[in-house]
Amino acid sequence: MFTIILLWQAPGIVYSQSIPIRELIKRADYFDRQNITLQVEVIGERMCRQEGCWLNVNDGDLSIGVWVPKEINYIPKYTGGYKTKGDIIEIKGIFYRSCSQHLGELDIHAQQITIIQQGREFFLPLNVSKIKLTIIIWVGLCLILIWKKLKKN
Amino acid sequence: MIKTSIRDIKVIGYYLGKIILDFGFIVFLPVIIGIIFKEKEPIWDFLLASGLCFVLGALLTIFLKSEREINWRQGLPLVCLVWLVAMFLSALPLYLSKHYASYLDACFEAMSGLATTGLTLTLDLDHLSFTHNFFRHLLMFVGGQGIIVVALSFLMRGAPGIFKMYVGEAREEKIFPNVISTARFIWLVSLVYLILGSTALAIIGVCEGMKLSNALFNSICIFMAGFDTGGFTPYSQNIGYYHSIFYELATLNIMFLGTLNFKLHYAVLSGNRKEIFKNIETVTFFITLMFTFFIVMLGLRQNKIYSSAIVYLRTGFYQLVSAHTGTGFSNIYSLQLIKEWPVMAWLGLIIAMGLGGAVCSTTGGIKTLRIGIIFKSICQDIRKILIPESAVSVGKFHHLQEIILDSKHVYSAFMITLFYILIYFFGALVAVGLGYPFLESLFESVSATANVGLSCGITQVGMPAILKVTYILQMWAGRLEFIAVFALIGFFIALLKEK
């Protein structure tokens, strides 16, 4: 019991279970500079700077920025957007409440990235009822304009 | 006694129809974005919504045709109705995106966009289509300048009494003698700044690692939301998504530009650069910004969270400018605001949000002109007590010219300030009644009424419907600065009494 408590309180402890981003931010003082694990979807786009790249990731609730140093060779095939599901990845890294390297940002510095599921593009079927309604409205508009023109003449 | 008649309803209905027809073109614009990004479903959302605008507008103008001059009794209620109808029509394509839990949420988003507030109820914003995202920001660009101003600038040749509509949208200042010329100038300045500002942001975006197409799209959206002091962003992390101090510096400048009176823009562009230093609005803004900055920094130092002065500036100063300009851009999470910022820093932000920027700008809040006039009148009253009885003291203030401070200015400033403060507390009371803590309730209420958009976490999909409706009404009333809203209420009361 004492060992478990000691391990829980010890700094630098590695968390093997994925932590929700909301929990990280809510308890930022507790998780500050700790090794953490996240299982997330890559969203937006990868933005590369001199010493590494920024990834923005989402866990279904909130999004957070992950700094990926050059040494980690990960290029997402798909990032989450309207027509795409981004790569689902597991990130092991260090959480910073106020990162001194990045001028105070709340971020994660990745140490290891594992692809859990590759992203993909998906086909979104069109809503036929919506198309029909739209056509009816525009035809109605044309009829109103024709009627207005005839009334004027 | 106020008397209304069928004639009033006809006039209001006719001009409402004309403006809805014009608004239909705004709703149609995102179709172009949908075509560029090959997003088929969103294209149909906007074709449906714009078609509906055109049909509704056409029917109103045909069946309620009127060439009569608009009077004050018609003009002010008309403006209120235009904004409400625009909200309902704008909500339709947003709701069809399936990123809103209900039509009420879509209406909330639409009003937040039009009133350049920035509070959002979008579900899964990071997966929203480019088309719908562009529309959210376009609503801010249109709402910031004014729906009536758009109509006057581009689409209406003019109508007798249109100045009453212009004033109803919380714009009293005429840059040129003709209100259409004034409206067109406002749009010319906005469009020129749009080209320059988005180009600058796009360059920064590319330098920070974004692809050109994404950098361009984001820069246009961020500029529209920044210059119109709105605060929407394409991604849920707000400005934090870009992880770039250069992007934040650029948006700081854009926010400052947006908070300036358009008459001041005209003066500076005409060569009168000294006006920036003499104008009561800019001087008051500078003083209140420094005062609230002092309060916020004092508060943040209590918790000692941030490691260096530059981090304090990046976080504290950015949030403060965002609050004071009424923009609502944020480089921290609302959870951080709740957990890490002490009460003193919160108070600094609340005061800054409540005060706002210049009149005849895109910003909200009480406005620095009124704060300056109130301060001057207090000083004048103190001077009158201290000087010999036989001496005469005349108060003056400089707002593009020397203006004698008279009771009319002071009365108007006090009245609008009082309305704002009452509505701030009313909204806070509603949230407190629903179980939220007082300080957070006050924060969110001030943010909604002053059209800022910073959130401490109350605004979310799960909040009670009554609070969503309250904030919608606060955003609407705050944007139109109350008089038009009271005129609408008075109009309907008179109509009911007649029946």
- Residues B350-378 have pLDDT tens digits of 999 999 999 989 899 999 999 999 999 99
pLDDT for residue A9 = 41
Chain A residue nearest residue B303, CA to CA: A29
| B420 and B469 assigned to the same domain | no
Confidence band for B109, pLDDT divided at 50, 70 and 90? very high
Please answer yes or no on whether B235 and A56 come within 8 Å at the CB atom.
yes
Please answer yes or no on whether A137 and B44 come within 8 Å at the CB atom.
no
- Say if residues B314 and A103 touch (Cβ distance below 8 Å): yes
Residues in chain A with CB shorter than 8 Å from the CB of B240 are: 65, 105
| B148 and B282 assigned to the same domain | no
| B145 and B223 assigned to the same domain | no
The token duo for A8 is 């829980």
Of A12-16, B51-55, B463-467, least confident by mean pLDDT is A12-16
Cβ contacts of residue B407 below 8 Å, gap of 6+? none
| B342 and B475 assigned to the same domain | no
Of A106-110, B138-142, B405-409, least confident by mean pLDDT is B405-409
The DSSP string of A98-145 is EETTTTTEEEEEEEEEEEEE--EE------HHHHHHHHHHHHHHHHHH
| B212 and B359 assigned to the same domain | yes
- Say if residues B350 and B333 touch (Cβ distance below 8 Å): no
Above 70 in pLDDT, residue A3? Answer: no
Report how far residue B120's alpha carbon sits from residue B330's, in angstroms, rounded to the nearest whole number.
13
| B486 and B420 assigned to the same domain | no
| B50 and B21 assigned to the same domain | yes
pLDDT for residue B307 = 77
B380-398 pLDDT per residue, tens: 999 989 988 888 888 899 9
Please answer yes or no on whether A141 and B54 come within 8 Å at the CB atom.
yes
Total beta-carbon pairs less than 8 A apart between chain A and chain B: 120
pLDDT for residue A26 = 95
pLDDT for residue B218 = 98
Q: What is the mean pLDDT of chain A?
A: 90
B79-101 pLDDT per residue, tens: 999 999 999 999 999 999 999 99
| B443 and B474 assigned to the same domain | no
pLDDT for residue A4 = 38
pLDDT for residue B123 = 97
pLDDT for residue A10 = 43
Among B55, B58, B130, the residue with its CB nearest the CB of A82 is B130
Residue A11, judged by CB atoms within 10 A of its CB (0-12, 13-18, 19+), counts as exposed
Of A45-54, A58-67, B59-68, B339-348, least confident by mean pLDDT is B59-68
H/E segment holding residue B459: none
B293-333 pLDDT per residue, tens: 999 999 998 888 787 889 999 999 999 999 999 999 999 99
| B59 and B44 assigned to the same domain | yes
Among A98, A105, A126, the residue with its CB nearest the CB of B40 is A126
Please answer yes or no on whether A130 and B45 come within 8 Å at the CB atom.
yes
Minimal CA separation from B164 to chain A, in Å = 29
Above 70 in pLDDT, residue B1? Answer: no
pLDDT for residue B159 = 62
Please answer yes or no on whether A44 and B126 come within 8 Å at the CB atom.
yes
pLDDT for residue B392 = 83
Tokens 């949230």 found at: B431
Global ipTM: 0.90
Q: What is the pTM of this model?
A: 0.94
The token duo for A6 is 């000691």
Among A43, A49, A83, the residue with its CB nearest the CB of B126 is A43
- Say if residues B387 and B407 touch (Cβ distance below 8 Å): no
| B249 and B398 assigned to the same domain | yes
Report how far residue B485's alpha carbon sits from residue B480's, in angstroms, rounded to the nearest whole number.
7
Domain interval for residue B141: 1-172+465-499
Cβ contacts of residue A74 below 8 Å, gap of 6+? A68, A89, A113, A115
Q: What is the mean pLDDT of chain B?
A: 92
| B497 and B393 assigned to the same domain | no
Report how far residue B348's alpha carbon sits from residue B301's, in angstroms, rounded to the nearest whole number.
13
| B430 and B472 assigned to the same domain | no
Report how far residue A63's alpha carbon sits from residue A61's, in angstroms, rounded to the nearest whole number.
7
Question: What residue ranges in B199-356 does DSSP mark as E strands?
Answer: none
Question: Based on the structure, what is the number of domains in chain B?
Answer: 2
- Say if residues B135 and B32 touch (Cβ distance below 8 Å): no
